[in-house]
Amino acid sequence: MDGDSHGARLQRDGATKAPEGGISGQPMPREANLGAGWRLLIYVAMFFMLWSISLFLLSQLLRPTRGVFSPRFQLPGETASFLAAILAAWIMSQLEERHVGVYGLPARGAFGKLFWQGCLFGLCEIALLVGVIAAFGGYSFGGLAEHGGAIAEWALFWACFFVMVGLFEEFLFRGYTLYTLSGGIGFWPAAVLLSLAFAAFHVANKGEGWAGITSVAFVGLFWSFTLKRTGSLWFAVGMHATFDFGETFLFSAPDSGAILPGHLSNAVMHGPNWLTGGTAGPEGSIFDFLILAVFFLVVHFLYPAGEEKNGAEAS
């Protein structure tokens, strides 16, 4: 963990071109003859191979009903997806002679201060967003959908599930991929491309619309910004997890176009799509873009450009 890490020696915001060899600017012993594009392709190929095998084995073991949300399958499935992404990165780290922690998830920062700060940002974002929508008459909490011990069981399930979603999606789109692509084309061009890929990853979700997809791309850029300023993905993981938890469970609204079981209340969204986000859910509301714009400023002042930490220190 004490070696070079994903955010080490980040340049100030004015210099968008990353030094050769990735964001950290550290030497790449075995990559002189293998460009960033080829390394990225190798990583993606390994990830898809490991991902496909693990999900196939899980489906054979657990036999989920096709097209039906199964908590028994979904949590292991997200865990296996994250493990496929991190294992492929570990293999690449051995080839590149560096520690896997340089790609954004140093173990020393695991579930530390940055993670909990991100959790606070995620809860604030969804609470502010739903609060504004409700103030304009677009959201009603409704009666409780779950009671007694079922509330605690679903809350625990969704908390664990969305932590794994945060780990998987943040590492897949802003871990090894962003670290490596930055070495070839610079940090912000890489962040833009991968944020678009992140948005495309959600296009197949039922009920997702263009406003929701655009919001996903925008928040991808924001999480890239938190990585650049903190040197770690742990902030983004925490924020990603708690926003989804709040949207799906606490406020019982559509999440990226999906209405999932086990929500707290029988909430109702009503009003124009620009207000409620339509079938995509609150994340497609125009107010989410405004809140994220404010969050850019908050992070700008909370983590000054001249004080970026490397991932091993960002705990």
pLDDT at residue 313 in the model: 45
Give the span between the Cα atoms of 219 and 211, in whole angstroms: 12
Q: 1-51: per-residue pLDDT in tens?
A: 333 334 443 333 333 333 333 444 444 445 545 789 999 999 999 999 999
Q: Tokens at residue 63, please?
A: 């036999």
| Residue 223 pLDDT greater than 50, yes or no | yes
- If phi > 0 it is left, if psi is from -120 to 50 it is alpha, else beta; for residue 162 that is alpha
Contacts of 139 by beta carbon, 8 Å cutoff, 6+ apart? 130, 133, 251, 253, 267, 268, 269, 270, 276, 282
* CB of 152 closer than 8 Å to CB of 262: no
Give the span between the Cα atoms of 254 and 213, in whole angstroms: 14
pLDDT at residue 30 in the model: 55
Largest CA distance in the chain: 62
Give the span between the Cα atoms of 199 and 221, in whole angstroms: 11
| Residue 280 pLDDT greater than 60, yes or no | yes
Task: Return the ∠ at Cα 241 (arms to 235 and 246), rounded to 5°.
Answer: 125
At residue 295 the predicted structure's pLDDT band, cuts being 50, 70 and 90, is: very high
Q: 175-198: per-residue pLDDT in tens?
A: 999 999 999 999 999 999 999 999
Lowest mean pLDDT among 17-21, 131-135, 202-206: 17-21
Task: Please state, for a pLDDT cut of 70, what percent of the chain lies above it.
Answer: 87
Kindly list the domain boundaries of the chain, sorted by start residue: 36-307
